[in-house]
């Protein structure tokens, strides 16, 4: 998921709120975020990856322009775009420009932030669905979390469990296939490592990228000490 919007609409504050910790610098000065900030989060036990990007605007600053260019590149690779607007200002001409520039084939969720500054009721022309939140006070965040799970394809079942997306199930099946193949080519270090790499790539579709070095080191050490016939594959998501 990628958070996008104008500078100073609260993108970094929203990221921090969803992450439950201060992972992005927050300032009243527009253009503070210059690069893509990636963070793994969990919503009701469901792992998601969210990215904060530079505020989208015209800029004379060379470094900020680089950050904006990276933001646009990241948006085109997103599974979901969180389009963040300032609820106290409504949709401006600059917001309309940003909306027109977004890739049309990627789902988007309209989020109106700064509900604590809003006087009256928030409305959006055309009855476009939106979620009203305040990253400062936390108001509306539970509704946003539910909407995020719904939008990315997870659905709640009785007892609070969530069904995984179909592509995640395919990724798990593919990873299992490569791990089974790795057992069959255990005597060949090269083929064994390749099967592990392919299994990792499949798992990355669910968990995001994780370092293969730790995983490979463990297998290499075990392989050198004993020619085992049964292997157990552990995925460490890190801190």
Determine what percent of the chain is predicted with pLDDT higher than 70: 72
Distance of alpha carbon 121 from alpha carbon 140, whole angstroms: 14
Kindly tell me if the per-residue pLDDT of 36 is higher than 80.
yes
pLDDT average, residue stretch 146-174: 70
- pLDDT tens profile 71-117: 889 999 888 999 999 988 888 889 899 999 999 999 999 999 999 88
pLDDT at 40: 86
Distance of alpha carbon 146 from alpha carbon 143, whole angstroms: 5
pLDDT at 132: 92
pLDDT at 111: 93
pLDDT average, residue stretch 165-189: 81
Of the listed ranges 14-18, 91-95, 158-162, the one predicted with least confidence: 158-162
Strands 37-43 and 46-52, by their bridges, are antiparallel
pLDDT band with cut points at 50, 70 and 90 for residue 155: low
pLDDT band with cut points at 50, 70 and 90 for residue 209: low
Strands (E) located in the chain? 2-4, 37-43, 46-52, 81-86, 108-113, 130-132, 155-156, 162-163
Average pLDDT of the chain, as a whole number: 78
Number of Cβ atoms within 10 Å of the Cβ of 148:
22
pLDDT band with cut points at 50, 70 and 90 for residue 232: very low
pLDDT at 134: 93
Distance of alpha carbon 194 from alpha carbon 34, whole angstroms: 36
Give the sign of the dihedral formed by CA 199, CA 202, CA 206, CA 208: positive
């Amino acid at each position: 998921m990628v958070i996008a919007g104008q500078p100073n609409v609260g993108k970094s504050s929203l990221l921090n709120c969803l992450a439950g910790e201060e992972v992005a610098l927050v300032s009243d000065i527009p253009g503070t975020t210059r690069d893509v900030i990636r963070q793994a989060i969990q919503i009701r036990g469901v792992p998601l990856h969210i990215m904060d990007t530079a505020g989208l605007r015209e800029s004379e600053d060379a470094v900020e322009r680089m950050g904006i260019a990276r933001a646009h590149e990241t948006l085109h690779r997103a599974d979901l775009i969180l389009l963040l607007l300032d609820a106290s200002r409504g949709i401006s001409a600059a917001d309309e420009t940003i909306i027109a520039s977004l890739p049309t084939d990627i789902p988007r969720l309209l989020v109106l932030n700064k509900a604590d500054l809003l006087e009256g009721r928030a409305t959006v022309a055309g009855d476009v669905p939106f979620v009203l939140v305040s990253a400062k006070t936390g108001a509306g965040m539970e509704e946003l979390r539910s909407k995020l799970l719904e939008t990315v394809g997870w659905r709640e079942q009785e007892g609070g469990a969530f069904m995984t997306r179909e592509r995640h199930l395919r990724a798990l099946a593919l990873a299992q296939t490569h791990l089974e193949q790795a057992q069959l080519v255990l005597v060949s270090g090269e083929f064994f490592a390749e099967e592990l790499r392919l299994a990792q790539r499949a798992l990355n579709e669910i968990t995001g990228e994780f370092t293969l070095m730790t995983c490979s080191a463990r297998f290499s050490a075990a392989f050198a000490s004993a020619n085992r016939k049964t292997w157990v594959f552990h995925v460490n998501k890190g801190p």
